[in-house]
Structure 1
Amino acid sequence: MATTLSSVTILSPVSADAYFRTDLGLLVAQPSGMCWNPFLPFIIIPEGYNALVTRCGAEIPDGDGKIVHKPGVQCADPFTTVSHLVTRNHCVWNAPIKGCKTLDNVQITIDISVIFRIVNGEQGNGVRFFVHEVTPGGLEQQLKDSVAQELRALARSMRHTEVYACRTGAPAQVARTVDDDDDEEDEKGPGMTFKEAEASRARGEDRHAQKGIDVTEAMKIKVNQTLDSCVEIVDISITDVGLPSSIAQQMTARTMVRSKQAYEVMEQKFAMLEIKCENEVEQLKLQNDEKESKQKAVGAKEVQDLKEDLAIKRAKHRRQLAEFNEHTTSECHKIEADTKEQANSLALEKARVLDTLRLSAQEEAALAEAQAEAEVQRFRAKTEATVAHNRAEAATTVAQAEKNANAALKKKRELDIDEKRLDVYQALASNKQVVVTDATDAESARLLVSDAVLQQHGGQQSSEAALVAKMNVLRVASNALGMRSEWDQSKLDGVRPQTMGR
């Protein structure tokens, strides 16, 4: 199926992947919408593409001074946009090349597959040159012309029976005609064996297969030289070769005849090999039977020799075992005697050591007890001295505290007296029958008391206290006016108890 190289207009750079995935021949995409967003003042170049960026229609370089921009995010103003996106991936171009004539003037069709990619070149402007000068349509035309010329030259150098060997990756299957068989017989020679002929045929097929591989490699180099520097051919492969139907049927029939002949030869060889293998099997069975009988005789003799050696070794072993048991018994008795002697010696040594340790322990215990008693006495005396000293210091501290507390106690007593006095004043103030005054004159004090008594009784004279108060007021008034008083305060004071007594 032929592939058409093309370009397309897309809405924005972000949606480029959707177009390139659906169209395998798409090389260049031209965004039509504005890439600039007032809320996001930058442009996005997707991964896998080279881009040409313009400002007001003029192409601008990137930060490194290169006209081709790599994938990424770039700050931009409102007048900056992405004009072209060029893929960086490998692209495949498939096309059938028709009208190719072989060496024997047979017209064939060759399907070619070219893998290429768009490179930026050493100058850094290969992508720009491809977009404006080469274009996808021009590249497709260049590929058609260059590849068609090379393929026609390739087909003209081969016969139609050899063209299938040019398929890339296909096994070397070369169809042969009757003339080819005659040539093969000539190559075999009269004295060549069948194996040598098969090896010669395999070498010829390898040569044809290698020829196809070398042709495509050389074709890739030549096509790269004819194309512009912005396009690099990665690989060229011949996917299929089409012969005319009549010739293809003739070749198929010849191949079937040759395959049938080869099958019959292989069947004959297989029958011969089967007979040969059966004869070899019978011969090997006879040889094996002879070897088996011979080995059985040798084995019986070896078994008898081994039995005799085994009996001798068993007798020798029984003798060594008896000697070993006797030696072991004597050694056990000797070891038991030595052990008992050592045990007695160790028991005596143990008793002596225990007595020595007991006496030493008693002596050390008595010494430790005496030292402990002395330490106890010393600590007790030291403790009593410390207690006496602390008690003296406590008594001194208490006396000093009492001395320091006298002033505070004195103030506390004065405070208590003042509080009692205030309680008395409070009681007097709350008593309605008590008159409180700041007058220092006795007459004035009596006058105030009389006035209070009169106010309490509401001016009634039936009460003795009211009568005395009224008389006291009259006396004070007469004294103030210079009149002689017929009664005296001292008399009134003498009379008041009697009156109150009544």
Structure 2
Amino acid sequence: MSLYIGYIRCSIKATMEGTSTLSSIDIRSVGEANAVFGSDTSVMVARLRNPCCRFPLFWFTVPEGFYALVTRHGAHEPYTDGNGKKNPVWPSGLHLGSPWLKVSHLVTKQLMMFNTEIKGCKTKDNVTVLIDISILLRVMGDNPEERPGDDPQNVFKFVHEVTPIGLQAQLKDAQAEACVPYRSFGLRNICHSELEGVQEKLFSTEALDTRLVTSQDTKDQEQKDTEGEHDCYDSLEAHFNVEAGASVTEAMRVRLNRQFNKQGIEIIDVIIKDIKLPETIQSQMSQKTMVISQNAMQRMQQKHDMLRLIQEEEIKTLNQTHTEQRKELLEDGKFKCLMEDIKLQTVHAEGDRQVKSIETQMCIDVELVQVESNLTVKRIQDETRLETERIREQSKADSEIELAKAKAEVDMILANGELDVAKIAAKGDKAIFEAEGIAAPLNCKLNDHTTELLRLKAQYALATNDQLVVTGTEGGRAASTLLQANSVFSDVAILDNDQKSRNSMLAHLAVASGAGDVRLIVGDSFLNKIHF
């Protein structure tokens, strides 16, 4: 779609710009046709030079917008439609066939704008001019049913007989012959509607009345200054030239079609784009046409100078008037400013008075509020203190009552506890007494037995001690007792290897026995007298 739009844009551009040559070109495939014809505005015929393919193709395509000629082994192959009718031009689209069936030529269907210049053309007044002419043409290759006068055979004739280069040469020669003597001004192509409008303007009642009035010199002087005195005749002459030029271009188109329709080319339109006169004639004509404008310019310059002087005087008068009015306005403004300053000072004084009054009243109100607030605070403090003392005394009384109740309960609990303890202790003492009464005889026997064992051990120690000497007043009885004790303690000394422990035990034994008339000498040591 984008490729087709680009082709249309290129075609429109080529038609508008035109070309000064008509040519043919070689392309490799039909896919390049749109790009080649769109970029080069002079191409009318494209010859396909297909490169050698590794694999033969059993189909080929014909792009839209072209007349296509197909060959089989180099010979022209016509197209056969569904009705069996043969046509030298193949339609656009995809076609199936043998590999040696291929497109040989593509001829564009678009309109071609061919530009050419005719030099040395003489006008009626024997002036040599240069005419730039554009011819809008096309190849008449459509079906006669769609467009009367066309014939597909014209495409084959154009490709192999006429050729683009031949058409170019014939067009240049035909244009040179078709340019007959004519007036230079107004020669151009024009449509029928525009031509009818020109004729209506030329022969209308308003145009005749206008020409009559201008011929009697009843124009306003200001209108003469802007338009000139001869513009009306120039416009009339221009209208006649337009009509004459239109007839000449139409005659040129008819004459060219009589020559080229036989070759399959249709001339759509002949356009005279430009006519160039020699430089000397151009300067003379421009000077002649500029005389009225120069006169009008001089008159307008005089009016401009007069208006400028008048305007300058008016500006000076206005400036002086404005200066005086400005001074008056300044004085009035100063007076008004002074009055406003006085009013402002009055307002400021009144405002200061009101501010002072408000500040004084505010101070009084603040003092009253502060006094009332202090009294309220003092009253609240007294009430708070009274309530605090009442609550404190009430709490003390309540605490004393609660303490008395708690003490009474504690004393009662303690009394009950002591009673229970006394009962339990009495029960325990009773149990102990009962147990001691049962165990007392047994304990007495145990203690006697233990005492006898100790006595025997003491005597054995005394008896086995070689260093012990026992002396006393009661004879052998005390001595034997000490000997026994020494024998008992001798075993203990051997075990403990402690002489002081042995002496201590003998002394305790002597004290315990109640006899003090015995002396114990152990080695060099001297023991105090002990009574047994």
For Structure 1 versus Structure 2, the TM-score category normalised by the shorter chain is 0.3 to 0.5
TM, length-normalised to structure 1? 0.43
Kindly name which structure, 1 or 2, has the bigger radius of gyration based on alpha carbons.
Answer: 2
TM, length-normalised to structure 2? 0.42
